[in-house]
Amino acid sequence: MQQLLWLFFAYSFLGWAMEVVLKYFQYGRWINRGFLVGPYCPIYGTGAVIVTVAGALLEPVDTSYGTSFLLSFFLCGALEYMTSYVLEKRFYARWWDYSQKPMNLHGRVWIGNLILFGIGGVCIEKAANPVLLLLFARGDRRQMALFLGALAALFLADVLVSYFVMHLLKEGVEKSMADKSEEIAAEVRYLLENRSALHKRILDAYPELTFRTDRVKARIARIRKEGEHIRRLAEEKVEDLEERARTGREMASKNLVTTRGLQREIIEKQEALIDLLRTEDGDRKAIEQLEEAISADKALLESREFYKRLP
């Protein structure tokens, strides 16, 4: 048990250090990354412990690199997905969003990270664990027990403090009447403006933090529903025009091409609008312009004037 606790804190610290360095290159400043105040990211420690335990259970059967990779790929992917899901349900916020990444699942995990998890799991089992466990074995058992006990106490205190900080943030989100993530973020920042550094830290640590209240989700759902309606409407018109085109009418052929082009433009604008609504720093003017353009295109598609304008 002490060995697992040792590995948990070691990998939590290493994961935190990696996050800090990576975000320095991204934002050009040092950021204390992590949900907690201390220098550790428990999701990394938890993932490492899960991979270690799973690998030990499978050791009598298979110890290959491929098995280690697949274990980490799926177990750490499931951990990241569930962590994102629970945090969003509990605090109405997303700490990360991979919606724009290829082969993602609900924006919570994506193939790039899963591959890195697999590689990381192999490194943990085959290289890092032996070194860390050797260091643990060389230490005085009593001193290591005291050290780990002190770390555990500090960690639990940190969890409690961070929970109350997040509870205040959650209250701010719940009271917001906005239906855009960036507007909610502005209200929350104003709420925390005169609070302690502990309260401000969470927003500084996650500049890309997005908020997903029921109102935001409902607005995105409405846009998607409208997009589906437009897609169906355009498909119906396309089918009609295809039928007419088959009779050899030149005008119908031109209409068919133009209808498809307009449909494609509307769908692209809908997707761009959803992307802007998801981000905290979405340009409000750009959002309004997109909404106006979509409404105009939709009205044109539904009206008979559309056909009169065609050459």
Last residue of a domain, one of 143, 178, 212: 212
Residues 165 and 267 placed together within one structural domain of the fold: no
Residues 179 and 301 placed together within one structural domain of the fold: no
Residue 280 vs residues 4, 93, 179, 181, 283: alpha-carbon distances, Å: 38, 11, 12, 5, 9
Tracing tokens 């598609």 back to the chain, one arrives at: 301
Residue 234 lies in a domain: no
pLDDT greater than 60 at residue 308 = no
pLDDT at 292: 82
Residue 243 lies in a domain: no
pLDDT at 249: 52
Residue 112 lies in a domain: yes
d(Cα 174, Cα 38) in Å, to the nearest integer?
A: 27
- Residue pair 45/4 in contact (Cβ under 8 Å)? The answer is no
pLDDT at 59: 87
Degrees to nearest 5, angle at CA 166 with 81 and 48: 40
User: What is the mean pLDDT of the segment spanning 194-210?
Assistant: 56
pLDDT confidence band for 177 (50 / 70 / 90): very low
pLDDT confidence band for 71 (50 / 70 / 90): very high
- The distance between the two most distant Cα atoms of the chain, rounded to a whole number of Å, is 90
Regarding beta strands 109-110 and 210-211, do their DSSP bridges make them parallel or antiparallel, or are they unpaired?
Answer: unpaired
- Residue pair 81/108 in contact (Cβ under 8 Å)? The answer is yes
Last residue of a domain, one of 144, 179, 212: 212
- Residue pair 294/227 in contact (Cβ under 8 Å)? The answer is no
Last residue of a domain, one of 180, 212, 244: 212
Contacts of 187-191 with C-beta under 8 Å, sequence gap 24+, read none
pLDDT confidence band for 226 (50 / 70 / 90): low
Residue 18 lies in a domain: yes
- Which residues 6+ apart lie within 8 Å of 242 measured at CB? 256
Regarding beta strands 210-211 and 93-94, do their DSSP bridges make them parallel or antiparallel, or are they unpaired?
Answer: antiparallel
DSSP 207-235: TT-EE--HHHHHHHHHHHHHHHHHHHHHH
Tracing tokens 């027990």 back to the chain, one arrives at: 145
Residue 56 lies in a domain: yes
pLDDT greater than 80 at residue 174 = no
Tell me how far apart the terminal alpha carbons of the chain are, to the nearest angstrom. 78
Residue 49 lies in a domain: yes
User: What is the mean pLDDT of the segment spanning 292-304?
Assistant: 72
pLDDT at 11: 96
Listed range (14-23, 189-198, 239-248) with the worst mean pLDDT? 189-198
Residue 237 lies in a domain: no
Residue 50 vs residues 37, 87, 259: alpha-carbon distances, Å: 23, 20, 54
Residues 41 and 142 placed together within one structural domain of the fold: yes
| β-pair partners for 93 | 211
* Number of structural domains the chain divides into: 2
pLDDT at 23: 81
User: What is the mean pLDDT of the segment spanning 159-167?
Assistant: 79
Residues 205 and 275 placed together within one structural domain of the fold: no
Higher pLDDT, 206 or 47: 47
Average pLDDT, the chain: 76
Residues 203 and 279 placed together within one structural domain of the fold: no
pLDDT confidence band for 35 (50 / 70 / 90): confident
Residues 206 and 96 placed together within one structural domain of the fold: yes
Residues 271 and 203 placed together within one structural domain of the fold: no
Residues 188 and 301 placed together within one structural domain of the fold: no
Residues 125 and 261 placed together within one structural domain of the fold: no
Residues 156 and 276 placed together within one structural domain of the fold: no
DSSP single-letter state for residue 194: T
Listed range (140-144, 185-189, 255-259, 297-301) with the worst mean pLDDT? 185-189
Higher pLDDT, 184 or 226: 226
- Which residue segment(s) compose the domain that 299 sits in? 257-310
pLDDT greater than 80 at residue 188 = no
pLDDT at 304: 47
Residues 305 and 174 placed together within one structural domain of the fold: no
Residues 16 and 82 placed together within one structural domain of the fold: yes
User: Which is nearest to 93 in space by CA: 101, 102, 103, 83?
Assistant: 83
* pTM assigned to the model: 0.64
Residue 189 lies in a domain: yes
pLDDT greater than 90 at residue 274 = no
